[in-house]
């Protein structure tokens, strides 16, 4: 390290030792100094920024600079040169002599340029293909500029035609101003009209521009990627994968299945062996040998998955855990996303597929997503990765969030950022109000699209700008608690949003660790095409989420199957890993820009008074006159089920009276509709709200 420091400063200071270094290495001694310092750091600490690839690149640049600085010396035959001629040092002059005699000067010059490109590529990690493409694009742009100049020169002969068209346009403008001199006054009168305007009358242009939201964060700075944790990678051993391929072939051969491994795809955490089998062999026979393959490969039986066939091929895929897994870090995904940010209106970060290809989708194309998986399989981490990708590419003027977190700890980190419309909702009783507000906002946006004469939000953004109508992403972290507490009321609002909110930019992300038919109902599945299935406990749960078996064999820790309308067959993906530190770093960067001045919309979680909503509990004011109504209500709420036989036993009444009370409870929206022989579902969690409304009705009747 000391020698490296001396070489680094030798060209700029005067001393006997430094003069000797400059004499032999020239001005290129600074590059030699950098190389030696990096080498010493590599030998002591072995950090990532001093890899063998970077050291090789620095060595090539140092040697190449010695020769390149000596390339301009005309007659390299003596050791006595001026300081400028000794720029490459004695080492550079001697190497220049050898190369010039061997290659000739023109070829030597080209050789030095190629070595510079290789050295820069090794030091920076930029691929040679990207460098050559950049050079070719530079010269291509120069050719285009020259051709445009030639076109301008050739177009000089038709200037008269352009002048005539401009004169005609001026005449048209003068005619319009003469024909419509009174339009300005009429327009001013229209802008003063009341808020309610007949939709059949044409809306003035200025009124349409006043309806969109005005941007509040014009100079927004996006969080940089260096805030995130650097990925940790392990080297792959080819011999292990080749040995496993031979074991698979031998095991299948012992069961009279002739096969050959034609391709091995090494993914982040899973390795896929592509098999070609002989004609006449049933695919189902290979699927039944999963346990035998797991035994031969010494892998867990539940971790071996057979995909037959691999989409787009005539091969069978045998997927087993990677013995040296490389997890997908959020920084890798964010870096890839920032390089192709313009492709996505609303980026959805997923991870890497089984071949290591980055998987990023656009939520505008989905548009809704169902996330399901058992506890500890990476479901919440996957949602955090999605939110992280949105926060790092979208400003608060372009994106708004409504987060529902029944656990109260998963999304607490996002509190205080300007992207939130309201603080993170942890009270289940407020979720229904928020969904009702979203439904009303959806209707308002449809009216805006109608006025702008466009069909969807992307067309509206092209016309008005992205800040005029931000996307609203609604994330519900645990839908099972919500469905059990609020039932059919919340389900109807979710279904309505899922059916109609695609065109106005209100996507839903619904997550649950209990993918049963009571939680993920048929209506929700029909309107939510995007599915992320992490490891589930049974094959029945897998069928509920992705309509087929397979999710029960996943490895956990972010291993998932992704399905959408574009890719009806599930794709196996290793989800991105996002640590809490990554989220905190991005959130702190965002908060530093705005301070503590956060304004939330208080109307979102407040009861939405709208006359056309008849689905909320207690909306029907015609209550029962039976004195046992309150007792019956307490019975069904405490037992969380409702039936006439239950009221008969608890209240000691006859069947007719019990059936009448059940009808009254259904009319008051305390019980759901009949479900065959099963007890009715209870739609409320407490009786206070319903009984208070009944008491007010009774007091009003007494006053009358």
pLDDT in tens, 389-421: 999 998 888 899 999 988 888 888 898 898 998
Cα 695 to Cα 687: distance, rounded to the nearest angstrom: 12
Q: Which residues pair with 531 in a beta bridge?
A: 370, 563
Cβ within 8 Å of residue 13, ≥6 positions away: none
Tell me the pLDDT tens digit for each residue of 544-598.
Answer: 999 888 888 888 889 999 998 887 788 999 999 998 999 999 999 998 888 766 7
What pLDDT score does 584 carry?
Answer: 92
Longest dimension (CA), the chain: 122
- Structure confidence at residue 612 (pLDDT): 41
Q: What percent of the chain has pLDDT over 70?
A: 80
Contact by Cβ (8 Å): 563, 570: yes
**Which of 124-133, 136-145, 443-452 comes out lowest in average pLDDT?**
136-145
Closest CA to 668 of 651, 649, 683, 646: 683
The whole-angstrom separation of Cα 6 and Cα 226 is 32
Structure confidence at residue 616 as a pLDDT band (50, 70, 90): very low
pLDDT beyond 50 at 169: no
- pLDDT number for residue 340: 77
- The CATH H-level superfamily of 328-591 is P-loop containing nucleotide triphosphate hydrolases (3.40.50.300)
Would you say 7 and 30 are in contact if contact means Cβ atoms under 8 Å apart? Answer: yes
Could you tell me the sign of the dihedral formed by the alpha carbons of 450, 455, 457, 460, in that order?
A: negative
Contacts of residue 351, defined as CB under 8 A and 6 or more positions apart, other chains included, come to: 268, 328, 333, 358, 359, 385, 558, 560, 573, 574, 575, 576
Q: Do 582 and 227 touch, CB atoms closer than 8 A? A: yes
Residue 649 has pLDDT above 50, yes or no: yes
Residue 685 scores a pLDDT above 80: no
Rounded CA-CA distance 575/369 in Å is 15
Q: What share of the chain is helix, strand, coil (3-state, %, to 5)?
A: 50, 10, 35
Residue ranges of E strands in 267-392: 270-277, 305-307, 316-321, 328-329, 347-353, 358-362, 369-372
Question: Between residues 587 and 170, which one has the greater pLDDT?
Answer: 587
Question: pLDDT averaged over the chain?
Answer: 79
Decide: 384 and 560 in contact? Cβ < 8 Å.
Answer: no
Higher-scoring residue by pLDDT: 238, 2: 2
On whether the CB atoms of residues 188 and 205 are closer than 8 A, the answer is no
Domain boundaries of the chain, sorted by first residue: 2-130, 241-321, 328-591, 629-703
Concatenating the DSSP letter of every residue in 562-585 gives: EE-SS--S-EEEEEEE--HHHHHH
Q: What is the pLDDT of residue 390?
A: 92
Which sign does the torsion angle of CA 55, 57, 60, 61 carry? negative
CA–CA distance, 254 with 266 (Å, rounded to integer) = 26
Q: Do 493 and 506 form a contact (C-beta atoms < 8 A)?
A: no
- Confidence at 487, pLDDT banded by 50, 70, 90: low
Q: Can you tell me the mean pLDDT for 603-625?
A: 53
Q: Whole-angstrom Cα distance, residue 387 to residue 474?
A: 11
Residue 198 has pLDDT above 50, yes or no: no
CATH architecture of 629-703: Orthogonal Bundle (1.10)
User: How far apart, in whole angstroms, are the C-alpha atoms of residue 582 and residue 184?
Assistant: 55
Buried/exposed 547-574: b ≥16 CB within 10 Å, e otherwise: eeebbbbbbebbbbbbbbeeeeebbbbb
Distance separating alpha carbons of residues 355 and 357, to the nearest angstrom: 6
What pLDDT is recorded for position 614? 42
Q: Give residue 402's Cα distance to chain centre.
A: 16
- pLDDT-derived band of residue 82, with 50, 70 and 90 as boundaries? low
Query: What's the confidence (pLDDT) of residue 149?
Result: 53
Q: What angle do CA 101, 104, 106 make, to 5 degrees?
A: 150
pLDDT at 179: 38
Residue 471: predicted pLDDT: 92
Condensed to tens digits (0 to 9), the pLDDT of residues 360-388 reads 998 888 889 999 999 888 899 999 999 99
CATH for 241-321 (3.30.980.40, 3.90.228.20, 3.30.390.50, 3.40.50.300): 3.30.980.40
Spatial contact of 666 and 684, defined as CB atoms under 8 Å apart? no
Per-residue model confidence as pLDDT tens digits over 343-366 = 788 899 999 988 888 899 988 888
Q: What is the pLDDT of residue 625?
A: 66
Question: Which of the given ranges, 202-211, 386-395, 613-622, has the highest pLDDT on average?
Answer: 386-395
Q: Which residues contact 151 (CB under 8 A, 6 or more apart)?
A: none
Percent of the chain with pLDDT over 90: 14
């Amino acid at each position: 390290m000391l020698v490296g420091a001396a070489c680094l400063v030798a060209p700029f200071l005067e001393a006997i030792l430094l003069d000797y270094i400059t004499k032999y290495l020239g001005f290129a001694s600074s590059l030699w100094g950098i190389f030696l310092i990096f080498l010493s750091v590599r030998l002591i600490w072995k950090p990532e920024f001093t890899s063998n690839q970077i050291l090789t690149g620095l060595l090539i640049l140092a040697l190449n600079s010695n020769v390149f600085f000596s390339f301009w010396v005309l007659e390299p035959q003596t050791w006595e040169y001026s300081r400028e001629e000794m720029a490459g040092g004695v080492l550079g002059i001697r190497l220049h002599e050898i190369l010039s005699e061997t290659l000739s000067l023109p070829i030597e010059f080209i050789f030095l340029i190629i070595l510079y490109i290789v050295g820069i590529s090794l030091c920076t990690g930029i691929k040679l293909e990207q460098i050559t493409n950049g050079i070719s694009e530079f010269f291509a742009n120069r050719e285009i500029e020259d051709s445009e100049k030639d076109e301008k020169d050739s177009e000089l002969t038709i200037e008269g035609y352009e002048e005539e068209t401009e004169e005609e346009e001026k005449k048209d403008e003068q005619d319009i101003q003469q024909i419509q001199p009174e339009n300005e006054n009429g327009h001013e009168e229209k802008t003063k009209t009341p808020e309610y305007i007949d939709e059949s009358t044409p809306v003035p242009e200025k009124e349409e521009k006043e309806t969109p939201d005005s941007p509040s964060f014009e100079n927004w700075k996006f969080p940089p990627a260096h805030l995130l944790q650097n990925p940790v990678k392990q080297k792959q051993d080819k011999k292990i994968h080749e040995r496993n391929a031979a074991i698979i072939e031998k095991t299948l051969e012992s069961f009279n299945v002739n096969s050959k491994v034609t391709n091995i795809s090494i993914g982040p955490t899973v390795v896929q062996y592509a098999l070609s089998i002989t004609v006449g062999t049933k695919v189902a026979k290979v699927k039944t040998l999963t346990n035998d393959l797991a035994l031969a490969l010494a892998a867990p039986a539940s971790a071996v998955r057979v995909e037959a066939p691999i989409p787009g091929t005539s091969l069978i895929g045998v997927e087993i855990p990677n013995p040296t897994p490389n997890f997908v870090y959020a920084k890798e995904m964010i870096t890839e996303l920032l390089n192709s940010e313009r492709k996505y209106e609303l980026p959805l970060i997923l991870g890497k597929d089984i071949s290591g290809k980055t998987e990023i989708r656009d939520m505008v194309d989905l548009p809704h997503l169902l996330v399901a998986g058992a506890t500890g399989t990476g479901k919440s981490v996957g949602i955090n990765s999605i939110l992280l990708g949105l926060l790092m590419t979208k400003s608060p003027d372009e994106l708004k969030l409504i987060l529902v977190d029944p656990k109260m700890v998963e999304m607490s980190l996002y509190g205080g950022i300007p992207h939130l419309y309201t603080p993170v909702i942890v009270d289940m009783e407020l979720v229904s109000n928020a969904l009702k507000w979203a439904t009303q906002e959806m209707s308002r946006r449809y009216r805006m699209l109608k006025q702008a004469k466009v069909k969807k939000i992307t067309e509206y953004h092209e016309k008005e700008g992205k800040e005029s109508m931000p996307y609203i992403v609604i994330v519900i972290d645990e839908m099972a608690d919500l469905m059990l507490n609020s039932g059919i009321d919340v389900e109807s609002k979710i279904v309505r949003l899922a059916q109609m909110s695609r065109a106005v930019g209100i996507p839903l992300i619904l997550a649950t660790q209990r993918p049963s038919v009571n939680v993920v109902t048929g209506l929700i599945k029909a309107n939510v095409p995007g599915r992320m299935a992490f490891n589930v406990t049974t094959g029945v749960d897998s069928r509920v989420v992705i309509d087929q078996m397979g999710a029960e064999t996943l490895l956990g820790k972010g291993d998932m199957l992704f399905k959408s309308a574009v890719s009806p067959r599930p794709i196996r993906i290793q989800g991105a890993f996002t640590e809490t530190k990554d989220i905190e770093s991005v959130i702190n960067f965002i908060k530093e820009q705005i301070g503590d001045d956060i304004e939330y919309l208080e109307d979102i979680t407040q009861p939405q008074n709208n006359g056309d909503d008849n689905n909320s509990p207690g909306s029907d004011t015609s209550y029962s006159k039976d004195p046992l109504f309150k007792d019956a209500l307490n019975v069904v709420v405490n037992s969380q089920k409702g039936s006439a036989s239950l009221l008969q036993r608890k209240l000691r009444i006859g069947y007719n009276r019990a059936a009448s009370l059940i009808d009254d409870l259904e009319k008051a929206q305390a019980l759901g509709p009949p479900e065959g022989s099963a007890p009715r579902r209870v739609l409320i969690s407490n009786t206070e709200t319903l009984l208070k409304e009944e008491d007010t009705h009774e007091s009003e009747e007494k006053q009358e």
